[in-house]
Structure 1
Amino acid sequence: MNDEQLSRTLQSVGQACFVRFFGEFSSNALSREDIVEKLRAETDYTEGSCISRTGHARSIINAGRAEAALKIIVSSDSPRVSEKTRKDALQWIQKINS
């Protein structure tokens, strides 16, 4: 997955969603269905959107680009990315590298 594909795929997940559910997306213990159900319960996303977001998030992680995606989020100046989301992304980066 090159940088352009990463950017597009991350956009499909949503930066805040990627960070908020990063633990679930990156967990080998949870099935796709488990994650979709959690997203449905905790957000107002449609089932199709939850399936899509989960697939895209896992494709980023499986391609070994999770840290790069999190760094994009940390450096984002989009008004849709909150300071809390940036801080949480930074914490995930620290966990990945520890």
Structure 2
Amino acid sequence: MNHEELVRAIQRVGMGTFVKYFEAFSNETKESDDLVDALIKIEGYGDDSARTKVNSARRILSCNLGLEALEIISNSQNADSWVVPKANFLKAQNAI
């Protein structure tokens, strides 16, 4: 996955969703279908939207681009006010 593909994958997940559910997406013991169901119930996403978000997030992480994605998010001018500090926190936690 190149930089442009990574940016598109982040857009498909949504910066806030990626950051908010980073730990869940990263947890390989969690089934994707369970994550889809959680996004539908908690966030009110439709089935297709939730599935796209989970699949895109998992693809980013399977390519070992989680920290790079968090870096892109933390440098974004378009993120909600809480997203950048959370992305920076996750970067610090996962860089250890």
TM-score, structure 2 as length reference: 0.96
The equivalent position to 1:94 in structure 2, one of 68, 76, 92, is 92
**Take 1:24 and 1:40, find their aligned partners in 2: how far apart are those partners?**
14
Q: Which runs of 5+ in 1 are unaligned?
A: none
Moved over 4 A (4+): none
Alignment of 1:71 onto 2:44: no
RMSD: 0.8
> Partner residue of 1:82?
80
TM-score, normalised with respect to structure 1 = 0.94
| Paired letter, 1:89 | A
Give the SS at the match of 1:41: helix
Give the length in aligned residue pairs. Answer: 96
How many Å separate the matches in 1 of 2:70 and 2:22? 10
* Structure 2: gaps spanning 5 or more residues: none
